[in-house]
Structure 1
């Protein structure tokens, strides 16, 4: 919240970034579970004196924020989701410190996955996966809550059933129209939960399950049925159908935003003046590229959503 100061508007916040913590839980039968989180904390607080009067008496030290992460992780004797831990931290900072009015907690969960040996889940063995589970909880002192979750780095590719036709052509257009191309992207997804206060969260929230559910719906919509697939006339069309599928399936999600870069695989055609065609492309050999790439994003929300 801005304050007027010597004829200016002044806004401030402070926090601790890249606080990394791993937490291991052990069940009675000896089975271990673990998470690794990268946590960013930002506090809105009434500590104007530290800026203008050299008075630090109202500041929550950022080192204290870091230590709080470790202490709260220790207190969590039962396994919990990244969303629950973000809310727990936000609730602590806004209730424990009178001068803190709002806490923003962003967490990225590193994708450690349980390994299977001879078809059996290992009790304490894990391997690093790919896409990451993210969340942001904004908690106000009044208990008002904004909760967003997401996916980072969901790399998807299909080798056919994709095209791009009928787009604007002008003197700068070199891209040929096609009904047969490779489609690849790396999805970044954010979705908003409808809970407006800490008290409105279900007693046993299923955030981890909902994360896996959303990821499955996004992938199922992108790829289509396993045998015949589904045709994509553009990244834009596929993105919209992915978002619509999530909102149609999950009433506890009020809005979703997707970023889907079009990562190009360029057809290889080799020719020379002397030898003519050396290699002719037949939907089989491509040059993978990272940049430049198309950038497509959109947000789909319910009418009442505040996303």
Structure 2
């Protein structure tokens, strides 16, 4: 919210970034332990302009206090909860506990610790680091209005065939040949906005958003690959991105919009020859040079008509 200060528009926020917290839930009845590692970012919109213009810090919530609050609230969570639920919990606290705070923006990135299996059996307290990160952002207003977004970072997908790129613009700068046979690889960054508009409207089912995260990830991957026998042809990264986003909205009615960023990570055909020997390596859809710099950058957002994203 902008305010006029000395003839200028003035907007401000402050917070604490990269608050790392690990939380273990130890069962006393013999069930496996559960754990999470979160990286929390807090940003508060508040009425504390006096600190900027009058050297008056009386309305400032110290960022060190915000850091401590993360650990206190993690301690108070006696039952396992999702990153989304923790973000909402923190947002509710800051907007209700401090009169001058009218909006809290809480971002949480969950490190992908996964339970290990030993001899085919899930270990009760052993974990290994996976790949895709689970992200969540809750924007909570003092009135209870909520904007909730979840996401995935680092979802690496690759298929060795059923991909091509034809019919694009050709001009004097174009060297890329057309093809109906190429590798397709990407590292998906996805975010999706839920349709819940208030803190009181979110589902009360435990770990609901963890379940949603896993299901959305599966739909994205399944759409990218297609059926296990034969797969599905990709005419471009753009086409595959659209079908992935559409599949998510078709499957999950409480998601109002999906944003996907899908860099085209290239596997370049290897052909090597010399004047003395001639052909040393002739490419036959078999030997590639993997490279991620430079790469194609493709992103888009698909929303329902009533979405506010």
TM bucket normalised to smaller: over 0.9
Report the secondary structure of 1:18's partner residue.
strand
Which residue is 1:20 aligned to?
20
1:202 Cα offset (Å):
1.8
Which residue number in structure 2 is paired with residue 89 of structure 1? 90
Question: What residue number does 1:154 align with?
Answer: 155
Displacement after TM superposition at 1:249 (Å): 0.6
Alignment-derived partner of residue 252 in structure 1: 254
Q: Secondary structure at the match of 1:264?
A: strand
Does the residue aligned with 2:302 lie in a helix, a strand or coil? strand
CA distance in 2 between counterparts of 1:156 and 1:178 reads 20
- Specify the alignment match of 2:136 in structure 1: 135
Corresponding residue pairs, total: 307
Structure 2 equivalent of residue 296 of structure 1: 298
Question: Normalised by the size of structure 2, how large is the TM-score?
Answer: 0.98
Which of 257, 262, 267 matches 1:265? 267
2:244 aligned partner: 242
Residue number in structure 1 paired with 2:106 = 105
1:193-212 maps to which residues of 2 (within 5 A)?
Answer: 193-204=194-205, 206-212=208-214
Moved more, 135-144 or 20-29: 20-29
- The alpha-carbon deviation at position 40 of structure 1 amounts to 0.3
Once residues 10 and 236 of structure 2 are traced to their aligned partners in structure 1, the CA distance between those partners, rounded to angstroms, is 45
Any idea what SS the aligned residue of 1:293 has?
strand
1:50 Cα deviation (Å)?
Answer: 0.6
Shift of 1:272: 1.8
- SS of the residue aligned with 1:242? helix
Distance 2:111 2:99 in 1: 33
Cα distance in 2 between the residues matched to 1:95 and 1:212: 32
Matched with 1:215 is 217
Separation of aligned partners in 2, 1:202 and 1:107: 19
Matched, 1:5 2:9: no
Specify the SS of the correspondent of 1:114: strand
Tell me the alpha carbon deviations over residues 103-148 of structure 1, each in whole angstroms, 9 at most, x when there is no partner.
Answer: 0000000000000000000000000000100010000000000000
1:37-186 equivalence runs, <5 A: 37-186=38-187
Aligned mates of 1:140, 1:292 — CA distance in 2: 41
3-state SS of the aligned residue for 2:255?
Answer: coil
1:275 CA drift (Å): 2.4
Q: Which runs of 5+ in 1 are unaligned?
A: none
Q: Structure 2: state its 5+ residue gaps.
A: none
Task: Please tell me the root mean square deviation across aligned C-alpha atoms, in Å.
Answer: 0.7
Residue 279 of structure 2 corresponds to which residue in structure 1?
277
Deviates more, 1:73-82 or 1:276-285: 276-285
1: CA distance, partners of 2:129 / 2:51:
43
Give the secondary-structure state (helix, strand or coil) at the position aligned to 1:85.
helix
Provide the rounded CA distance (Å) in 1 between the counterparts of 2:292 and 2:280: 26
Q: Secondary structure at the match of 1:255?
A: strand
